[in-house]
């Protein structure tokens, strides 16, 4: 899985849960929930969709590691490399 594959999947799933998000306006280091006013249910839907897409368990205890676009991409990269 390449970094580009992960970023593409993350972008697609983020756009799916929040279609009004301008993908090219994402600040990769900003907290996704704050930046786009994503509530906890939308965040859970995002994490669940990504977990299904990559065949990964993404436990709630790891949510703090998934705050920003870059954090989430790095988390997915680490998990898919293992």
Helix, strand or coil, per DSSP, at residue 33: helix
- Between the alpha carbon of residue 73 and those of residues 25, 27, 59, 63, the distances in Å are 16, 13, 16, 13
The reported pLDDT for the residue numbered 4 is: 93
Specify the DSSP class assigned to residue 36. T
In angstroms, rounded to a whole number, what is the distance separating the alpha carbons of residues 27 and 45? Answer: 20
The reported pLDDT for the residue numbered 6 is: 95
Helix, strand or coil, per DSSP, at residue 31: strand
Ranges of residues in the chain with a pLDDT under 50 are: none
In angstroms, rounded to a whole number, what is the distance separating the alpha carbons of residues 41 and 27? Answer: 21
pTM (two decimals): 0.90
CB atoms within 10 A of CB 74: 15
The reported pLDDT for the residue numbered 49 is: 96
Domains and CATH numbers, the chain: 3-18+28-81 (1.10.1200.10)
pLDDT, tens only, 41-60 = 999 999 999 999 999 999 99
């Amino acid at each position: 899985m390449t970094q580009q594959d992960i970023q593409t999947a993350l972008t697609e799933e983020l756009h799916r849960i929040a279609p009004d998000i301008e993908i090219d306006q994402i600040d990769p280091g900003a907290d996704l929930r704050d930046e786009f006013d994503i509530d906890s249910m939308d965040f859970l839907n995002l994490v669940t969709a990504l977990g299904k897409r990559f065949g990964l368990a993404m436990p709630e205890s790891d949510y703090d590691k998934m705050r920003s676009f870059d954090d989430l991409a790095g988390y997915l990269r680490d998990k898919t490399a293992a």
